[in-house]
A and B are shown apart, each in its own frame.
Chain A
């Protein structure tokens, strides 16, 4: 056993120290692994950032009312009458005697993406007077909240970072009407930061959608009140065509829809590139075994075991792929982790969020790099182990 470890150590040292003789080839296979890992991390971080933003937007104690069968707000309708009924349900939180509810209407307006100068769809949300109060963690950081009944809007800080046309203090023209941007709000890590908010009644009238709501938010006294509220609504025939779910459930559903595609892209691209990197690693390692054929035969003649030559090759491959993996992870941290980006979210509007690497994602990347190294070293290693310890081989 001690001898085997000695042997593996010696053979590995021989392999590793002769890497410079295959410098360019080894470097190419390191870079191939690094690029594979970086691309995989790019899409996984994208998907993770998007998911945590969308999922993080929902509260457990806010009921979201949407029309049965609508998977996005845009094609949902909730009537004014239903709104009034829903405000009277059990467990609805009150403020100064009034229920904390908000009927909302989402419309799409044009913005300009700062990075590309191209037009993009911005979500413009009309909210009720309690719309701000029933959302957790939202704060006005510049200016003030819009005054109900006026053509005023507040803009999400995330939207402002990525898109132009809604700068604070500006007066803007949307569908023939002047609007005044009177405030900027922050709602860190949520989809709300990608929205524009205005008074719902003004929105209804200026966008020509009188008395139309798409969704309603109802703040409950606690998350525990949700079930009772849902079953109360189930029992009312007038609410037959609406579905009630917690805001968190709603956004979790949205998240799985919108992040699924990025996770799929991550793995499809990642696996394709990993196969390419594996081919590179195999090529490098077969060439390592071939150029050291006489050396390996000599070691075998001296009495080194096939297992030692196998492990020497294997460890060389693992070292190269681990270097590639580390490089890829560094690249990911430097190039895009924490950067803000935007994509088309559910509802066909732009959603601003950050690339977010997680420990689990980094571990995934390390595993992928190790798998490339294992397979890249295994077959050449077997070839090295099978090298006959014969004199004519050693003499070439």
Chain B
């Protein structure tokens, strides 16, 4: 299999006041196309930071990040934004839907960044909603839906522009077990049937079981055996 993501000697630190906090020191890893990775680790270990680096919402201090064979770490802000909108879908713990927009309007947001005509946009939105099983909820607003349904809308929004990579930060952190399992099954379907590469940060060992493999991050380092496997 080919690598979708390749990180080489990535360094990242934050300055808080005068203090410099090193999050990653020479972090290297690869993720294959079509993988479904659960990422676990204590709070503050750098999981969200890593998602930000992979998704191009934050920049590494040093090292290279390749996506599909091309470097993204040296892209300009504008190019990175454009790259992000076509290649990465994001799923958040608290769904992050726009409360005043309907499900369909929320899902349509990423398509407003494309050249697609309105009719084509509507068709794609309908397809995405259908994939997550919410075709009959398209006119509903977030507050008229359960947490699980809202997360499904968020998943539809993440896949509507057909990105290769889905980044999920605690996608089931706010859901009960049954609903969480439904969401995780949906992610599995997206991985298996649509070939989406998924990286999912989670605290929940049960959730991690839905992934193909699990990586543990601690103090900015992955467990070497897991990484080599």
Interface residue total, chain A, C-beta cutoff 8 A:
26
A323 to B115, CA, bound (A): 33
A355 located at the interface, meaning its Cβ lies under 8 Å from any Cβ of chain B in the complex: no
Q: A390-B52, A390-B58, A391-B48 are in contact. Are A303 and B100 (CB under 8 A)?
A: no
Judge whether A304 and B113 touch: CB under 8 Å.
yes
Q: Which residues of A contact B99 (CB under 8 A)?
A: 18
Task: Establish whether residues B57 and A389, one from each chain, have CB atoms under 8 Å apart when the complex forms.
Answer: yes
* Residue B127 lies at the interface, judged by CB distance under 8 Å to chain A: no
- The one of A18, A300, A304, A388 that contacts B100, using a Cβ cutoff of 8 Å: A18
CA distance A117 to B57 in the complex (A): 72
A394 touches B92 (CB 8 A): yes
Nearest-neighbour CB distance to chain B for A333, whole angstroms, equals 35
In the assembled complex, the CB of A339 is this many whole angstroms from the nearest CB of chain B, namely 44
**Within B73-109, which residues are at the interface with A (CB < 8 Å)?**
78, 81-82, 84-86, 90, 92-94, 96, 98-101, 109
What's the minimum C-beta distance from B27 to chain A, rounded to whole angstroms?
Answer: 17
Q: Is the CB of A3 within 8 A of B84?
A: no
- In the docked arrangement, what's the CA distance between A3 and B114, Å? 6
Taking the closest CB of chain A, its distance from the CB of B92, in whole angstroms, is 6
B110 within 8 A of A: yes
For A3, give its contact among B94, B101, B113, B169 (CB under 8 Å). B113
- Nearest chain B CB to A251 CB, angstrom units: 59
Q: How far is the CA of A316 from the CA of B216 in the complex (A)?
A: 45
The reply to whether A17 and B96 contact each other, CB–CB distance below 8 Å, is no
A303 contacts across to B, CB distance below 8 A: 81-82, 84-86, 110, 113
Contact A10 B96 (CB under 8 A): no
Q: What is the CB-to-nearest-CB distance from A77 to chain B, in angstroms, rounded to a whole number?
A: 76
Decide yes or no whether A360 CB sits under 8 A from chain B. Answer: no
Residue B51, interface by CB 8 Å: yes
Nearest-Cβ distance from residue B30 to partner chain A, whole angstroms: 22
CB under 8 Å from chain B, chain A span 1-58: 2-3, 6-7, 9-10, 14, 17-18
| B contact residues around A298 at 8 Å (CB) | 92, 96, 98
Q: Which of chain A's residues have a CB closer than 8 A to the CB of B113?
A: 3, 6-7, 302-304
B55 within 8 A of A: yes
**Is A391 a contact of B92 with CB atoms below 8 Å?**
yes
Complex Cα–Cα for A6 and B105 (A): 13
Check if B100 sits within 8 Å of A391, measured CB to CB. Answer: no
Docked-complex contact B90 and A3, CB < 8 angstroms: no
B112: interface (CB < 8 Å): yes
Q: In the docked arrangement, what's the CA distance between A298 and B98, Å?
A: 9
Measured CB to CB, the nearest residue on chain B to A303 is B85
Q: Tell me, yes or no, whether A301 is within 8 Å of chain B by CB.
A: yes
Q: How far is the CB of A176 from chain B (nearest CB, A)?
A: 79
**A14–B101 touching, CB < 8 Å:** yes
Residues in A whose Cβ lies below 8 Å from that of B115: 2-3
Chain B residues with CB under 8 Å of A295's CB are 96, 98
Q: Which residues of A contact B92 (CB under 8 A)?
A: 298, 391, 394-395
Inside 8 A of B169's CB, which chain A residues have their CB?
391, 395
CB atoms of B100 and A301 under 8 A apart: no
Distance of A298 Cα from B55 Cα, bound (Å):
13
A294 CB-CB contact with B under 8 Å: yes
Q: Is the CB of A294 within 8 A of B96?
A: yes
* B100 with A14: CB separation less than 8 A: yes
Q: Which residues of B contact A164 (CB under 8 A)?
A: none
A residues 357-396 in Cβ contact with B at 8 Å: 388-392, 394-395
A293 → chain B closest CB, angstroms: 11
Contacts of B58 in A (CB 8 A): 388, 390
Question: Do the beta carbons of A301 and B48 come within 8 Å of each other?
Answer: no
CB proximity of A27 to chain B, nearest CB, Å: 19
Q: A299: CB under 8 A from chain B? A: yes
B100-A6 in contact (CB<8A):
no
Q: Is there an interface contact between A301 and B112, defined as CB atoms closer than 8 Å?
A: no
CB distance from B85 to the nearest CB of A (A): 3
Indicate if A305 sits at the interface (CB-CB under 8 A): yes
Indicate if the CB atoms of B109 and A299 lie closer than 8 Å: yes
Apart from the given pairs A14-B98, A303-B81, 12 other A-B contacts in the complex at a CB distance below 8 Å: A3-B113, A14-B100, A14-B101, A18-B100, A294-B96, A298-B96, A304-B113, A390-B52, A391-B52, A391-B90, A392-B48, A394-B92
B residues in contact (CB < 8 Å) with A: 48, 51-52, 55, 57-58, 78, 81-82, 84-86, 90, 92-94, 96, 98-101, 109-110, 112-115, 157, 169
A-B contact pairs, 29 of them (CB 8 A): A2-B115, A10-B109, A18-B100, A294-B96, A295-B98, A298-B92, A298-B96, A298-B98, A299-B109, A300-B57, A300-B81, A301-B55, A301-B84, A301-B90, A302-B85, A303-B82, A303-B84, A303-B86, A303-B110, A303-B113, A304-B109, A388-B57, A388-B58, A390-B57, A391-B51, A391-B52, A391-B55, A391-B57, A395-B169
List 4 A-B pairs, minimum CB-CB distance, nearest first. Answer: A303-B85, A298-B96, A6-B112, A389-B57
